[in-house]
Chains A and B, each alone.
Chain A
């Protein structure tokens, strides 16, 4: 048995680098940083054109929004304020509630649709009729049939993520390579083994794709719902309300602060999902 002789078995020794080192040595990261700085510079210059050359030099679009330095100043001003962080917490709470419930209900529902023909025959058609309805179209109806504003926001948020997750889980579970199922069955796997050790891990990548997309939709819906329902009165704040309130108060810098805050919040959320995906799917994190 010749085995050691084959070059495929001898792995070269790779110098282990820390995550920070890797990041610093990565040219993509530096390009990204330069791109962000350039973007800021253009924005700053574009926004201040009229200040420097007179009113007739106001540039379209970029000339009408506050420059980044002003935004930054406004941000520094509100960072110590509890109200601003309360908006973060409110929005995050809603996103996590809606998203969490959508995952808890959506994953089993999608898997059940995938593995059981009868279940699919019965539940898939109504699901497909409800799915194309945009979550925001549910806002008036949900305001009517849920007792509190908070619950209607949570419900609409849930809808945003639910359909995406279910469709992804269903698609993922139904496209599992039949050879995996056959070999597991040949080896004597029970129905439960098949489900828990083959179908579920085989569907995980699709679950996380669905989760990533669903998380994006969730943020959109939460923000819109917060603006529409006038969160402050009884639903209570949130970043969407923060933006709307700042707009009503005529503070354009705060509107931009709110927008960037949402960008960051969304980034944190999708990073968390990516991280969770890496933890749960070590086989996808090769090398």
Chain B
């Protein structure tokens, strides 16, 4: 456990907090340039990300698709400030997050992560979980934060579960609450690391609708890692397909299906063409990864 990390000095924008809901220009343009990350465990260099560049516009839903263990999560960790980078740079709205001379980005509430298997604090109720951010940032009083949390959970359709512990609700509800917990901090970018991985198709579809609905309301930039091609096209404005390790951008596919999208979009001709295009690119990488005997790095 790393307790020595300097506490995330928050990029507390002194600008008035824009309340989500009016599609405000909150910013959130991510620019990744020539990012390289080499892990060096016991002197064996493992290149996880190699010269990877991508541009993500503010308010864009950007889906990252690639084979298992290709270094997608490394990318996310670098943006979130969990890990250092070896070279290259990442900028958020023009401000340097990490780059030459600053290998590790500071963790901050402008980039909130929703983790693979959910990371709601089990010892807090859903409302307490959501209220945690504003309270520790001293942005709101305890009761203000709680009211706001309850309000936002209700907006996400899980208002009646405010006082339940994460262990008492379904994984779908927990994940929805976790996204609310991220959003209450008014992040510029929402980083999602295969949040719906272990869910069955039915729950997943509900999650997707809920996420799209949230996105339409907040217009937050979304950086979403997934394996699921259907998910990628259904949710994304852009699908970035990355190569097997070392990870770099292979191909970007624009998704021009109009929003708001519904599940009927899945059966459209447009959707099927995109699916084929993405599938082809990903399959190639998957075969390479398989032949290399790649194991999941996690």
Contacts and interface: CB of A to CB of B under 8 A. Distances in A.
Nearest to A2: B209
Interface string A220-260: 00000000000000000000000000000000000000000
Interface stretch (A22-30, A32-40, A42-50, A188-196): A188-196
Nearest to B167: A286
B37 interface: no
Interface in A1-23: 1-4, 6, 8-9
Contact of A283 (B3, B113, B115, B122): B122
A286 B107 CA distance: 33
Interface centre among A179, A188, A201, A202 (most CB of B within 10 A): A188
Interface string B110-136: 011101000101111000000011001
Contacts of B206: 2, 6
Contacts of A201: 121, 123
B82 A187 contact: no
A189 B1 contact: no
B7 A190 contact: yes
Interface residues of A, number: 42
B185 interface: yes
A181 interface: yes
B185 A187 contact: yes
Contact of B165 (A174, A185, A286): A286
Nearest to B173: A8
B158 interface: yes
Interface in B171-223: 172-173, 181, 185, 206, 209-210, 213
B3 A1 contact: no
Nearest to A116: B3
Contacts of A174: 1
Contacts of A197: 121, 132, 136
Contacts of B82: 182
A204 B10 CA distance: 29
A3 B173 CA distance: 10
20 contacts: A2-B206, A3-B158, A9-B161, A114-B1, A115-B1, A117-B4, A178-B1, A180-B119, A183-B181, A184-B136, A186-B80, A187-B185, A188-B8, A197-B132, A197-B136, A198-B121, A204-B123, A283-B165, A283-B167, A287-B168
Give 7 closest A-B pairs by Cβ, nearest first: A3-B157, A187-B133, A179-B119, A201-B123, A283-B165, A188-B137, A188-B10
